[in-house]
Amino acid sequence: MRQRWQRARRAVAGLAVAAMAGGGLTVAAAGPSAAEQDTAHTWTVAGPGGSDLSAELDLDAAGELRLAVDRGGAPVLLPGRLGIRTSLHDLTSGLRLVDRHDRTVHESYRMTTGKQLQRSATMREATLTFAGADGARLGVVVRVSDDGVAYRYVLDDTGPVTVEQEASTFEVPTDAKAWVQPYQPSYETERTETTAGGANAAQPRTCTGDVCSFGYPTLFDVGGTYVLLTEADVDGRYSGSHLDHRDGSSSYQVALADNAPVTAPGPLATPWRTAIVGSLDTLVGSTLVDDLAPPSKIKDTSWIRPGIDDWSWLSDGSSPGNFDRQKDFVDYAAAHGLPYTLVDAGWQASWVPELVRYARARGVDVLLWFDWNDLRTQAQRDSWLPKVKAWGVAGVKVDYMYSDAQSTFQWYDAILRDTAQLKLMIDFHGATIPRGLQRTWPQVMSVEGVRGEENGQNPTRDIFLAFTRNIVGSMDYTPTWFSRPGRQDTAARELALPVVFESGWTSLGDKPEGFATQPVAEDYLEQLPTTWDETRLVSGAPGQQPAGDRQVVMARRNGDRWFVGGILAGAGDTMNAPLSFLGKGPWLLQTVEDAASGGGLQRTVRTVTSADTLSVLAQANGGFAAIACPAVKGRTDCDDPVVTAPATTLTVDPASATAAPGAGVTVGAQFRLPQGDALHQVHMTVDRGRLPAGWTVTGHDVSAGTLPAGRVLSGHWTVTVGKDQPGGTVEVPVWTEYANPAGQGAPPVHVEEVVRVSIPLHGNVYASDQPFLTETNGWGPVERDRSNGETGAQDGNPLTVDGTVYAKGLGMNADARVDIDIQGRCTRFQASVGVDDEVGGKGSVNFTVLGDGHQLAASDVVRGGQPAVGLTADVTGVHTLSLVVGDGGDDKNFDHADWGGARLTCLD
């Protein structure tokens, strides 16, 4: 078969492909003649230009299709089955060729993240159309580039298409060295070095019988050529997949998530089955996964800003629930020029807006963590995402998806659309691996899909990741935790990790006190960007080196500076980094490495050229970090100045006010820079867009082209409450923005205060429409106008007790309590209370109403399946109303308690 494929390659070598100037798609169609359709059973797709890659397809006597890959004429992937089975057609055998078209695909595009911002890709493409035994058509699209081969299926059914199984199989020589990851949807299992045939022994817990499942990307060394298997362009039309392997065999078969069929509207183009092929340099520099993805759906990406954040959860697990402690992390980010702070699980809606205001005044933006269960439905996203955007949050980190199912990819489609519309950046944690997502949706800053720093340390794993997972997209590894108890590596290695690993948002894992113990590292991290113009593998490999250790050195360029990071796993050794990636002339090279003793770091600066080699004597599980910059006259190091936002004051008068519907409040504001260089492009306003419908603002915005220190910028407005505004408290935002002194495209610094306008409660008021002063709940959050549901916000059902549905009310789970400010203006509270029908007759609870801490009314124990009980209380003169649910004397299981129709009668 190999000789026949070589003859076929020569036969098609003369296909004419014309280049279209300026990029885009170039097509030169060439279908087979009638004679060729009857006799040809082998077809070759050669790579572009001087590429040494080719893909060869063969159709055997049974009409079964196979694909192999050669590099430089030598086999890399052996012939592997192709084909697909749908609910209507078996397109795995009995195939015959009916058409072929060839073209060259050339695209130039720009990314917001990744190993290289500006991209250019050229691929030769052949679309071969086959007819099945029943006449159904199967299109096989094959692309070959300088760095790999990919294929996909195209089904032209006009109605819904249900794919039951793919025959897609990669064939790898059994003796090829392999680096595999046992498949779990979290992608958080350890990678193992083994062989292609013996991989199943790596982790039998993901096996069924003699078949084991492995996750992408999977790396093989086939006679010195590396092959990285993965997939690209997966969205809600399909599911993710993984590889199934029978013990001892050479076959790795594509298996759909959960072994479940997928259904999509026709015609259907499946994801790309992708093999990145070449040297380790080729793999590390490959952009093939993104090249195969659809173009960006976002035209204006000016609001998308990768960067470093300090993240408290890893080193200080309880801190995300502590407002004052989060301010410490904001202060640290502000002092060191970090653009973001990330607030993880435990934050409270009651104080996040204030934290955001505190941070933005210091030039720091807040990123906010979410459990995906709180954003799972469209209703949840429509509630939460506009709210956090109004607070001033710059982006969200969403966690715990843990699925490759089609329904999960449909959820990705939806939340990506929603965040793009709101201009919210996003990071997917507890997620699948990237499959070109960051090209199509450039607001995606990073994706976990990795066993990272939070899952314990494994220096060998980190070497593997540089040659596997991080090749296919940004990796939310959460590196750099100097103060980690029992740390298994050196400080220099921790510092190198955010250079070795690419991530659009890099979440540093230590706390301010931990960073402060390593001032040399702080200086380095202040300089570190997260976007790259170029990435180079300098040295290293995933397998053991002759000296018995594993290491990798990576260089990434941002502008005219190269950042270099090297990590080592194993015994101490000399790490050699040839500097041939540097340009002409002399360069300054400042290197940070471990001090000989004491656990600290030391920095050296020297002059080098591209002919030199950097040699660092690394300690066990050690490493180094470096910066190289052109050696211009007068420059003594590679550090750019760290510019931070100056301290300013914005005062509003009054800070709070009371106004009835239709009444006005006069608001004054003064903004001042006490000292320092003058501010520029200063603008002050009342944020009309964040006021409720019906509210109006009169008065003009105030601006100053330059505002010197000591001068006051003043503004005055009248804010009129809407005539239909219900009682409660509304925050009126007043803010000043000025040009960020950091420049370089940094967003304006935003300084904001609010005037809290209290509108007297009047008439009939529903408890679910009022803000909570405090909130506790035994299972997930308290729900407004729906049952408790599960742990996500707004994931409940209509409030229903013994078949009676309530449009308004509160859903809780014992033990639970909410406190509401009713201003001393209400006289009566009433509700119909009981256990929600969603627990199927289970559960037992009791209800209590408190007024300013005193019991006003209480129910007996109410059980699931019983009718609702009426509960009323005289609340005359009460300021704080508390609604409390107990567990009925047993445990809290199934205690879904409804306050149906809970409402207050207040003064007019």
Distance from C-alpha of 311 to C-alpha of 368, rounded to nearest angstrom: 10
Residues in the chain: 908
Widest distance between CA atoms in the chain: 95
Report the first-to-last Cα separation within the chain, whole angstroms.
90
Question: What DSSP line would sit under 296-308, residue for residue?
Answer: PS-S--TT---EE
* CB 237, CB 153: distance < 8 Å: no
- Strand 763-766 and strand 702-707: pairing? unpaired
- Integer CA distances (angstroms), 142 to 68, 101, 128, 245, 472, in order: 11, 11, 8, 24, 20
Instruction: Please indicate whether residue 399 is annotated as part of the active site.
Output: yes
CB 135 within 8 A of CB 93: no
Outline where 745-803 has alpha helix (H). none
User: Element (H or E) spanning 440, and its range?
Assistant: helix 437-440
Nearest of 157, 152, 65, 158 to residue 105 by alpha carbon:
152
**328 assigned to active site:** no
Q: What is the CA radius of gyration of the chain?
A: 31
Question: For residues 543 and 795, what is the distance between their CA atoms, to the nearest angstrom?
Answer: 48
Catalytic residue among 146, 309, 365, 399: 399
User: Is residue 783 within 8 Å of 810, Cβ to Cβ?
Assistant: yes
Angle 300-302-307 (CA atoms, 0-180°, nearest 5)? 135
Alpha-carbon 368 to chain mean position: 12
Sort 687 into a burial class: Cβ within 10 Å, 0-12 / 13-18 / 19+: middle
Catalytic annotation, pick one of 99, 454, 523, 769: 454
Instruction: Specify whether the CB–CB gap between 468 and 191 falls below 8 A.
Output: yes
Contact 170, 222 (CB under 8 A): no
Which residues lie closer than 8 Å to 565 by C-beta, 6 or more apart? 495, 496, 497, 498, 499, 500, 553, 554, 623, 624, 625, 626
Catalytic positions, written as ranges: 399, 454
